Structure 1
């Protein structure tokens, strides 16, 4: 059960770039949840992915506490859902469906911050412990969400 959680039901075992696959799976699921159920469910899923992800990573990495195996993608799922919350809430506040540029921008910014690991993302990654496995992607999600909103503001206010 722990491995199912940390690999997000096996997505982390897909060949080549498991973090991107995990992020893409989270994007598709998160976008569908927002569109067909509502942003409130994404908030709940996001909180659950963080809490359960921290617990599962601690359990999965108990015998290898300094590792961050690439097949563990629950951290990418949590981070991607955090990034997706920003445009989802913005669209929900305007009572509009979440259109494609917002979620795609959140995905691209999240992958950028997750791969480049600037500032707090890198600091969390350098913890080299199970909590750090989750924290770097949580920070990447926050920064990606902020970057998505800045990009949207620039596009809609400056370029339009």
Structure 2
């Protein structure tokens, strides 16, 4: 398996957040910054409990598909 997944595959694109998860320096930090910005934006429009309930099964599914 290559170190960098094919981002033309939509599953890998979503799982790595468009490649942010593959940045060589502090990928988790950049992913957290992006997630925080999304949180700030979404929190004005949607109840966060709904977002959490919907995002957990989606995240599990996406990670499972990307690992195959």
Normalising by the smaller structure, the TM-score range is: 0.5 to 0.7
Cα deviation 1:34-54 (Å, max 9, x = unaligned): 13x14x1x3333223211111
Equivalent residues, number: 59
Cα deviation 1:59-86 (Å, max 9, x = unaligned): 1112xxxxxxxxxxxxxxxxxxxxxxxx
Mind listing any 5+ residue stretches in structure 1 that lack a counterpart?
63-160
TM-score normalised according to structure 2 size? 0.67
Report the Cα distance in structure 2 between the residues aligned to 1:3 and 1:18, rounded to whole angstroms. 15
- Which structure ranks higher in relative contact order (CA pairs < 8 Å, sequence separation ≥ 6)? 2
Report the Cα distance in structure 2 between the residues aligned to 1:10 and 1:43, rounded to whole angstroms. 27
TM-score normalised according to structure 1 size? 0.33
Larger radius of gyration: 1
Report the Cα distance in structure 2 between the residues aligned to 1:9 and 1:44, rounded to whole angstroms. 24
Structure with more of its chain in helix, by fraction: 1
Report the Cα distance in structure 1 between the residues aligned to 2:49 and 2:21, rounded to whole angstroms. 23
Mind listing any 5+ residue stretches in structure 2 that lack a counterpart?
1-9
> Superposed, which structure 2 residues align to 1:14-53 within 5 Å?
14-35=23-44, 37-38=45-46, 40=47, 42-53=48-59
1:12–1:19 Cα contact (<8 Å) kept? yes
